[in-house]
C-alpha cells in the first residue's frame, strides 16, 4: 500500500477517534444530571404518626456537583429538620438512587417534648430515590431509618 494511503488511513483513524471522544464528552456534558437539575427544588409532603399529621417540606439544592437535601417537618408551631448530602449511587433512564451522607437531625427531641408526638428517635435519612416526571418536576422518595418514608414532588424554584 502506498505511503500516502497509509497516512490518510492513519489520519482518518485518529480523526474519527478524536472527534468521537470529543462528541462523547459533549454528550456527557449535555446530559450531566448536575447540570440538568442545577438549581433549587421544593416540594411538600405529609407524615402520619398515629392520628397526627406532620407537614413535611423538602428542599433540595443542586449546585457545583453537590446536592444538599433539607427536610423540615412541622406540627403546629414546632418543627425539626433533617439535612444531608446526596451521593449518586445508581442512575437509570429517568430515575436515580442516592445515598445520604453528612446527615444531621436538629430539634427532634424538643419537637417530641413539645408535641407529644411519638416520632421514633434515632431516625435519620438513609436513601433517596428520584424519578423524573416531566419538565421541572421530580418525584422523590426519602427513606428514613425509622421507617417513616416520605415521598415528595419537587418542583423547580430557581436555576441556582
Element at 113 (helix H, strand E): helix 108-115
Out of 24, 76, 89, 158, the only residue in the binding site for another protein (CB under 8 A) is: 24
Main-chain phi, psi angles of 91, to 5 degrees: -125, 130
Which range touches another protein (CB under 8 A), out of 68-76, 80-88, 107-115, 151-159? Answer: 151-159
121 part of the interface to another protein, by CB under 8 A: no
Maximum CA extent, the chain:
88
Binding residues for another protein restricted to 41-80, rule: CB under 8 A: 43-46, 55
Contact between 11 and another protein by CB under 8 A: the answer reads yes
How far does CA 136 lie from the centroid of its chain? Answer: 14
For position 3 contacting another protein by CB under 8 A, the verdict is no
* Interface stretch with another protein, choices 70-78, 88-96, 100-108, 110-118 (CB under 8 A): 88-96
Closer to another protein by Cβ: residue 21 or 158: 21
Q: How many CB atoms lie within 10 A of CB 120?
A: 13
Query: Which residue matches cell numbers 417513616?
Result: 148
Per CB under 8 A, the list member of 15, 76, 102, 145 interacting with another protein is 15
Question: What is the Cα gyration radius of the chain?
Answer: 23
Distance (Å, rounded) from C-alpha 61 to C-alpha 84? 11
Residues that bind another protein (CB under 8 A): 4, 8, 11-12, 15-24, 26-27, 30-31, 43-46, 55, 91-95, 129, 131-133, 139, 141, 149, 151-153
Amino acid at each position: 500500500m502506498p505511503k500516502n494511503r497509509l497516512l490518510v488511513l492513519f489520519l482518518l483513524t485518529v480523526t474519527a477517534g478524536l472527534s468521537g471522544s470529543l462528541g462523547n464528552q459533549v454528550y456527557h456534558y449535555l446530559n450531566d444530571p448536575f447540570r440538568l437539575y442545577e438549581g433549587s427544588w421544593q416540594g411538600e409532603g405529609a407524615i402520619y404518626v398515629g392520628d397526627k399529621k406532620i407537614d413535611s417540606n423538602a428542599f433540595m439544592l443542586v449546585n457545583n456537583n453537590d446536592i444538599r437535601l433539607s427536610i423540615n417537618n412541622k406540627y403546629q408551631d414546632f418543627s425539626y429538620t433533617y439535612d444531608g448530602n446526596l451521593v449518586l449511587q445508581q442512575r437509570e433512564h429517568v430515575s436515580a438512587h442516592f445515598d445520604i451522607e453528612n446527615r444531621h437531625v436538629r430539634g427532634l427531641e424538643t419537637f417530641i417534648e413539645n408535641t407529644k408526638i411519638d416520632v421514633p428517635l434515632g431516625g435519620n435519612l438513609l436513601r433517596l430515590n428520584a424519578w423524573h416526571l416531566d419538565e421541572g418536576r421530580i418525584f422523590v422518595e426519602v427513606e428514613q431509618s425509622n421507617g417513616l418514608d416520605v415521598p415528595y414532588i419537587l418542583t423547580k424554584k430557581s436555576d441556582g
